[in-house]
A and B are shown apart, each in its own frame.
Chain A
């Protein structure tokens, strides 16, 4: 037993000695300090990282003012003015003045303006300088809605003058640049305008190009302009419903060019376009035919007037108006006059005698008798007085008779003035 206790004690002493002898020593002070420093850095970096993550959505801008510096800037170039033009907004009251300033600045720079202008035009972008028109109030009743639809439709355009370029201020950036190019002038400008002419499908641009090219090279490119005009009219681009008023009147601008130059080449095509497949009347085509052909348009007008596809009363009224301009000179027009008087008087009789609106049924032919009377030759005035006499026999209405007397007196005065050779 004693021996066992001795052996156990020896083992314990051996193990303890070994543990003590192999135990690690403490790290030196420098190392401890370095370690502490690293841990501090670590803690700081962790805090900073957390903070940054928390502020991730709140960017901070530090503005540093540095001392003022004076330097000389070269005069702005064409690209600068083009950029400025693209920042203009229709809602700003200064826009038009500033636009004029930038356009004229481009003109002042001369031909160096042309490359950036060409680049801009090639990008097919545009900017309107005018505010869109205020939305109109809803029609008060069905009748007003119907009349508005007609007035604003294709046929209603007959009763409005053709749209024309505004020579005091261009309504869009591209149109202003076309004018600018023309004002710069020279061969490069001419070439650029022709380039745009060949590519554009916008009637308003052709109208501006016509003015610009005629200004810098009178009549030199007129055939080309008219050819482009006819081509677009014969193959018109689709105009979106939300397109600007300028683009919705594309055909008007183009027909206006044809009327201006009394172009007869398009007459045959216009005849085909006058009545569409669905029976609608093209008011612009009607105006064009009447204005370039004069009384010679009567066969076309008569054929259209009797065309069974024309069933809409407003479309008929437009055709009648065109034809009635030639009363006193054309037997066909006189026939339409008599027909419309007869129809009007019949409708009048159906109406209430106290309803003055019934006179509207006869207003169109009677109005035609007095139209442009101060410009008519004596024989036309005499013929119109005869037509008036024929109508007088057809009605016993007191107010109408009163009106007929007043009209005949006016026509008589005009006839007398013409016969006396007095221009006033």
Chain B
């Protein structure tokens, strides 16, 4: 019995020990607890995720809404109507021109919606324009005054501006500078301003409008202006069209006595275009147009022939300047300047130089030709030829003033050939440095 009891007790002890031992190890997590734990980790990761986003990894969603905004502004047609009525006067010029600029930019901002009324205005059968440029307006006043005088049977004085642009001297020098003009803050006229607006808006329709105006305009200024605008848009694509238009207008528009400065200077602009493109196909026609029907020199033609033909133009021009029917000094100056460009390389030019500089009847103005000795072609051979010309003139001259001036020019050429001689030979302008300023500083030129 004792043995059975002992076996039973042992079995109980073993069972109890096993239970106790098992119960003292960490409790295995229940599945719910594990799930809870996993959920906690997920929540934590989601929080990290959100945090990560907030710290810089922004995924920005831009809702790009394409809104067609209809601004309650003035219609382009209304702006253009307003522009047609604006006229700058003497007293309100600055203020008025600001309104003009304001309207022009308003049209530009209207974009392609502005094209129909602008196109209609620019291409109308009987084109109208509003001039804004001060010189153009002054020219108009001069023409009005001349017309009033004529109505009274009087000749009336030649206006300052019309006198200049109609002279050989004026048209010659003007023609050389015309295409250098750059766009100013205020447009020169309504039509030119609108051409700018069209170009500023841009695109194919703009190019088409500008090309249409080029095909239709009769004004040299507009042809030149359009040439500049179309060149910026399409390179030289319109070069031939521009030249074709220029030829057409030059052939059928002899010029003279226009009522608008822009028309009066038409031929000068067109010849300037031929010079720009070095177009020699008009030379034969131009040779017949050196003298206008009024018997004056057309300086634009002279500049064209001189620029395109170079030295080859000299015999023709020299023959014209010796034509006794030419009496105007300004006309002769235009021809003379073109001839004197080739002093040192052309015998006629050298001969003419000597004739002018030794002609005391011309007074001090004859010394102006000395500038041709140091300008233009500055190759060594030409400069040496000019020094020889100086020596030959001096050899026959008893004129002290002239000889001193020629010495100055000789020295100047020497300095051009060898700048190290500047210190010993001085400025070499024929007169002591600053001597002209010395005797008339601050005075009228």
Q: A residues near B, CB below 8 A? A: 3, 6-19, 22, 24, 27, 31, 34-35, 38-39, 41-42, 45-46, 48-49, 52-53, 55-57, 59-76, 94, 96-98, 100-101, 103-105, 167-169, 183, 356-357, 359-360, 362-364, 366-367, 370-374, 399, 403, 406-407
Please state if A14 and B62 are interface contacts (CB–CB under 8 Å).
no
Cα A62 to Cα B60 with chains together (Å): 6
B31 and A66 within 8 A (CB): no
Write the nearest CB–CB distance from A223 to chain B, whole angstroms. Answer: 26
| Interface window among B69-77, B165-173, B371-379 | B69-77
Nearest CB in chain B: distance from A9 CB, A: 8
Knowing A53-B52, A74-B72, A98-B105, the reply to whether A14 touches B34 (Cβ < 8 A) is no
Say yes or no: A18-B18 contact (C-beta < 8 A), given A49-B45, A63-B64.
Answer: yes
Cβ contact within 8 Å between A66 and B443 = no
In the complex, B67 has a CB within 8 A of chain A: yes
Q: Pick the contact of A10 from B14, B49, B437 — CB < 8 Å?
A: B14
A97 in contact with B59 (CB, 8 Å):
no
Instruction: Show 5 A/B contacts (Cβ-Cβ < 8 Å), sorted by A.
Output: A31-B32, A52-B57, A71-B69, A367-B437, A406-B439
Minimal beta-carbon separation of A355 from chain B (angstroms)? 9
- Given A34-B35, A65-B66: A10 and B7 within 8 A (CB)? yes
B113 at the interface (CB under 8 A from A): no
For the A-B complex with A11-B10, A65-B66, A374-B444 known, give 11 more contacts whose Cβ atoms are closer than 8 Å. A10-B10, A11-B13, A16-B14, A38-B38, A59-B57, A75-B73, A97-B185, A98-B105, A183-B95, A356-B433, A372-B442
Q: Contact between B102 and A105 (Cβ–Cβ < 8 Å)?
A: yes
Nearest-Cβ distance from residue A290 to partner chain B, whole angstroms: 14
* Smallest Cβ-Cβ distance to A359: which chain B residue: B438
- CB-CB < 8 A to B278: which residues of A? none
Query: Is there a chain A Cβ closer than 8 Å to B41's Cβ?
Result: yes
CA distance A32 to B15 in the complex (A): 32
Which of B6, B53, B72, B98 lies in contact with A7, CB distance below 8 A?
A: B6
Smallest distance from the beta carbon of A101 to chain B beta carbons, Å? 4
Chain B interface residues (CB < 8 Å from chain A): 3, 6-19, 22, 28, 31-32, 34-35, 38-39, 41-42, 45-46, 48-49, 52-53, 55-73, 94-95, 97-99, 101-102, 104-106, 109, 185-186, 200, 426, 432-435, 437-444
Complex contact B38–A366 (CB within 8 A): no
Please indicate the chain B residues that have their CB under 8 angstroms from the CB of A27 in the complex: 31
Q: Is the interface of B mostly helix, strand, loop or mixed?
A: helix
- Does A13 lie within 8 Å of B59, measured CB to CB? no
**B52 x A52 contact (CB < 8 A):** yes
With A38-B38, A367-B440, A374-B444 as given contacts, are A97 and B12 in contact (CB-CB < 8 Å)? no
Are the C-beta atoms of B63 and A64 separated by less than 8 Å? yes
Assess the A403–B439 pair: CB atoms within 8 A: yes
The reply to whether B104 and A14 form a contact with Cβ atoms under 8 Å apart is no
A359–B435 CB distance below 8 A = yes
> Smallest CB–CB gap between B38 and chain A, Å?
4
Given A53-B52, A360-B434, decide whether A22 and B38 contact each other with a Cβ distance below 8 A: no
A46 touches B439 (CB 8 A): no
Q: A18-B15, A42-B42 are in contact. Are A76 and B102 (CB under 8 A)?
A: no
Chain B residues whose C-beta falls within 8 Å of the C-beta of A367 in the assembled complex:
437-443
Q: A66-B65, A73-B71, A100-B102 are in contact. Are A399 and B18 (CB under 8 A)?
A: no
Chain B nearest CB, measured from A241 CB (Å): 31
Partner of B57, one of A8, A55, A357, A364: A55
Chain A min CB distance to B315 (Å): 40
Chain B residues whose CB sits within 8 angstroms of the CB of A12 once the complex forms: 14
In the assembled complex, the CB of B23 is this many whole angstroms from the nearest CB of chain A, namely 8
Residue from B61, B65, B186, B444 in contact with A69 in the complex, judged by beta carbons closer than 8 Å: B65
Residue on B nearest A61 in the bound complex, by CB:
B60
Provide the residues of chain A in CB contact with B435, threshold 8 Å: 356, 359, 399, 403
Asked if A66 and B63 sit within 8 Å, CB to CB, the answer is: yes
Given contacts A57-B56, A76-B71, A359-B435, contact A370 B62 (CB under 8 A): no
